[in-house]
Structure 1
Amino acid sequence: SGEHLVEKRSACFRSLWGWTRYGNQYFHFFPNQLTWAQAQRHCQSLNANLASVCNLGEYQAIQRVILSGARSHVPTWIGGSDAQEERYWFWIDGTRFTYANWCHGEPNNVGGRENCLHMNWTGKI
């Protein structure tokens, strides 16, 4: 099953219509129902990546982008993965994976098949 996606671009793309700026990054929510890999490929077609999270402010900014775009707290892909090695998480854009303020017990590997990160799985902030 697919999820929605939120992607991130650097500030060099100034004044992007429909994109939300947070610091020197821009974010945009896409309601497409895609797999994680399809979502990342879509982002790359726009010279972007699935969103990475560096701090609580950025996490909250991404949640606001999702809420604004979807009008609800829908599960949404972001750029974290441990598909290459279990419990070794990385961001697809190369950002160091240091953010740790996830919901209790997350990220995890539900059913031994959850190798990619999404936000709003519970539908709550």
Structure 2
Amino acid sequence: MRILTLPLVLCSLMLLSNNVCYIFPTEINGLKTACRNGWNLINGRCFKYVPSRMTWAKAERNCISMGGNLASVHSSEDYYDIQSLIRRVTHELKETWIGGSDAAEEGNWSWTDGTLMTFTNWCPGEPNNGGWRQHCMQMNYSGEKCWDDQRCAVKQPSVCVSKN
């Protein structure tokens, strides 16, 4: 019992000063087991829905300021779980920025967090680079609630994934 006393006291002090405190491991075999306050654990990574409407670039900077990036999606399970997070917060599935972009090279989509894009969920006929100006990825597009390339200047909510 004495072994846990000091961590519990320190944790209590941290919580009083609005810091996050974990008593148990927050990562096992590279997968997170807990997230900071306001973040949601999904398949071993921490995600946060940001309802503020921003351009894609501002949304990415906002995620970076919170220690992450716009979300990368690596499986259909990830996608449906992120949709569930959005639905839980908004009670609907709004079009939402995620971290895919082909701004560096047309047609070569990549995630801003540096992970490989091995899974895609494009809507039929997408990405189409409509008007030759669509370089940013949104989810929950159309009735099919799939991915679409969109003009980066459009303002909409976003989902971040945490690096730590």
Q: Hey, what does 1:107 align to over in structure 2?
A: 127
Q: Which amino acid aligns with 2:125?
A: G
Separation (CA, whole Å) in 2 of partners of 1:122 and 1:53: 18
CA shift for structure 1 position 113: 1.0
Separation (CA, whole Å) in 2 of partners of 1:18 and 1:123: 29
Q: Hey, what does 2:51 align to over in structure 1?
A: 31
Give 1 or 2 for the bigger CA radius of gyration. Answer: 2
Separation (CA, whole Å) in 2 of partners of 1:13 and 1:92: 23
CA-to-partner distance for each residue in 1:92-124, whole Å, 9 max, x for gaps? 001101112322122331221110000112255
- Preserved contact between residue 30 and residue 69 of structure 1 (Cα < 8 Å): no
- Preserved contact between residue 74 and residue 123 of structure 1 (Cα < 8 Å): no
| TM score, norm. by length of structure 1 | 0.83
Q: How many residues align?
A: 116
CA shift for structure 1 position 11: 5.5
Separation (CA, whole Å) in 1 of partners of 2:141 and 2:60: 19
Structure 1's unaligned 5+ residue stretches are 1-9
Q: Hey, what does 1:69 align to over in structure 2?
A: 89
2:77 pairs with one of 57, 73, 76:
57
Q: Hey, what does 2:37 align to over in structure 1?
A: 17
Could you say if the C-alpha distance between residues 46 and 122 of structure 1 is closer, same or farther in structure 2, counting changes exceeding 3 Å?
same
Q: State the identity %.
A: 43
- Following TM superposition, where does structure 1 have runs of at least 4 consecutive aligned residues deviating by more than 6 angstroms? none
